[in-house]
Chains A and B, each alone.
Chain A
Amino acid sequence: MGAYVNPIYPYKAPTDLKVTPPLRKPLIVIGAGPVGLAAAVDARLQGLDVLVLDDDKTVSVGSRAVCYAKRSLEVLDRLGVADPACALGVSWNIGRTFLEEDEVYQFNLVPDAGHKRPGMINLQQYHIEEMLIARALELGADIRWQHKVTAVTRHSDPDGHATLTVETPDGSFDIEADWLVVADGARSPIRRHLGLDIEGRVFQDRFLIADVIMKADYPAERWFWFDPPFHPNQSVLLHKQSNNVWRIDFQLGWDADPEEEKKPEKVIPRLQAMLGDDRPFELEWVSIYTFQCRRMTDFRHGRVLFVGDAAHQVSPFGARGANSGFQDTDDLMWKLALVMKGQAPDKLLDTYALDRQFAADENIMNSTRSTDFITPKSRTSKTFRNQVLALAKHHPFARKLVNSGRLSVPSFLTSSLLNTPDADTFEGNMVPGAPMDDAPVQVAGQDAWLLDQVGQGFAALLFADAVPSADVLAQLKTLQTGQLPVTPFVVAPRALDMPGVKVIVDAQGWMAKRYDGKNGTTYLLRPDQHVAARWRELSAAKVQQAVAHATCQA
């Protein structure tokens, strides 16, 4: 009944993979969802050979994850798919929360200007997956459809590789992997097969999710209602997606019968009551969901690395699912590439687990808080919630407490072992471990964005008012020739003539402000666009020490 038709990706008989003795692959990714595909694209960008196995033959059925946050778009920029995603997706920054019919709270995800990407785009998951598949194939990733991994055996000797049993329409075969990235989703058959724990809370509430095709002129904003007249005592969420598809969520309560509520004769009257007129609409997809907030104790098990929903799950309020999955692979893949190439010790991958477990805890905390506000567990909790909403009509402090979802923003990895602590004094938020703030700049006479200049490898930024001294320039250039090369940049208020060093022109001073950059200020940036270290004066030795520290070699 829907407008979208799922593509069917061709099955390829595994004649080349099904050999005796089993093939050994350097890297296998299980699961071609958004996160597994991001891992595959990133692997190719890092020059790694990658095989992706997926048990299905198409993209997501139904829109599923529809909100892609600014940080995800910045990651997707690095992966090369943010332009098509933003061209097709609906950009938005404003969220409005209503109590009954009155607006009680409004947030703006990107209140200040000077960012390439908006706070959020809404785009159906199937579109994102199609874009990532095209990109992965273009970069030479080997994706095999209808290849279901049914068993994984981890070997302890000599190097901890894994043997996978793969089932296909042409029978099953074994294949080995030096490294395994598991991205097989919330139910993660591989996680279960390996008997690994995932613990957390189940929430006793049910939500109806409806994708509706209709013509409507509601603005591109997130609208959330507490207790609206068209759905009393419950909440409702409205999002605009691409191609005239609208996402509407109705809170139903724990006692709702999921099979009954999915029937069109139940769904259509709810939608008619909400729309309040007789405009025509069509249902593209309907589902009932419940949710959990939980994570694996450890995202790393030797050479098996868990990413995305397989490793952690959150309630959907806040769009912290797929978005945190992209941040997982953003953190993981540069580390994995260094370890696989022998350029960093194995323990660098422990910091993937530590940093992303920290981020998962923050995501779980925020989405649990939203869920507790939306679905109060006790009479007292409900009284407090309703009185926060009542006070919010008059008092700004209460508006800030209204929690209809704290939307996905990246964690500040302030406790990461890879950070070199500040020895100098700085203003602002770009502390070691911070995800970089973007800024509008000029490069080679053209308008450009800061985040498009860095990433993939380590980079150093030196803020300079004028052409630095020969000694400083020489130090900056030596960074390119270290064991792990660091790409040097000079950030200046105007174009400077310096052969051999790329100049980022910060004419409007966005970077100077956001990074508290003064003449001599130096930043070391990780390949995933996080701050690793910063100083008030450039010292190549200190930068190299910080690179060693950020790769567990110190």
Chain B
Amino acid sequence: MQTTLLKTDPNFHEPGRRFFRDFSPGDDFYEALIDAHNGLSDEQSEALNARLILLLANHIGDLRVLREALQAAKTTT
């Protein structure tokens, strides 16, 4: 698959904050993501995921990036 605009290299970061270990920013995000689902039913989790995707998609905005992301998600199984 050829992606041109979608970033698929590690990209988690926080301006002004120094990470001494390269896995830390990604792990920070992943923990926050899983924590957001704590105590939710499966149905509530699905709804949360949908809202999250919509928020992030609007933030990205560029339809070319979103198409590539949709394609990348669909072709990975």
Contact = CB atoms under 8 A, between A and B. Distances in A.
Interface centre among B12, B26, B42, B49 (most CB of A within 10 A): B26
Interface string A402-416: 010010010010000
B4 interface: no
B76 to A, nearest CB: 5
A380 B8 contact: no
Given A378-B37, A401-B26, A412-B20, A394 B76 contact: yes
A378 B45 contact: yes
Contacts of A233: none
State the majority secondary structure of interface residues on A. helix
Interface centre among A373, A380, A396, A409 (most CB of B within 10 A): A380
A254 interface: no
B16 interface: no
B40 A406 contact: no
Contact of B42 (A380, A384, A397): A380
Nearest to A410: B20
Interface in A368-402: 369, 372-373, 378-381, 384, 387-388, 390-391, 393-397, 400-401
B34 interface: yes
Interface in A207-229: none
Contact of A397 (B11, B31, B76): B11
A389 to B, nearest CB: 10
Nearest to A401: B26
A429 interface: yes
A366 B8 contact: no
Task: Bin chain B's interface residue count.
Answer: 20 to 34
State the majority secondary structure of interface residues on B. loop
Contacts of A381: 34, 37
Contacts, number: 62
B40 A394 contact: no
A400 B20 CA distance: 15
B45 to A, nearest CB: 4
A369 B21 CA distance: 14
Interface centre among A369, A373, A387 (most CB of B within 10 A): A369
B13 to A, nearest CB: 12
A253 to B, nearest CB: 19
B27 A372 contact: no
Interface in B1-45: 1, 7-12, 20-23, 26-27, 30-31, 33-34, 37, 40, 42, 45
B11 A372 contact: no
B53 to A, nearest CB: 13
B30 A401 contact: yes
Contact of A379 (B7, B33, B42): B42
A369 B27 contact: yes
B27 A395 contact: no
Contacts of B7: 397
B72 interface: yes
B77 interface: yes
Contacts of B30: 369, 373, 384, 388, 401, 403
A388 B33 CA distance: 13
B8 to A, nearest CB: 4
Nearest to A368: B31
A516 to B, nearest CB: 15
A400 B76 contact: no
Contact of B1 (A394, A403, A406, A409): A394
A384 B34 contact: yes
Interface of B: 1, 7-12, 20-23, 26-27, 30-31, 33-34, 37, 40, 42, 45-46, 49, 72, 76-77
18 contacts: A366-B27, A378-B45, A380-B42, A384-B30, A387-B76, A388-B30, A393-B76, A394-B72, A396-B8, A396-B10, A397-B9, A397-B10, A400-B23, A401-B26, A401-B27, A403-B23, A406-B27, A409-B21
Given A381-B34, A394-B1, 10 more contacts: A369-B27, A369-B30, A380-B49, A384-B30, A390-B76, A394-B8, A396-B9, A397-B7, A403-B23, A403-B27
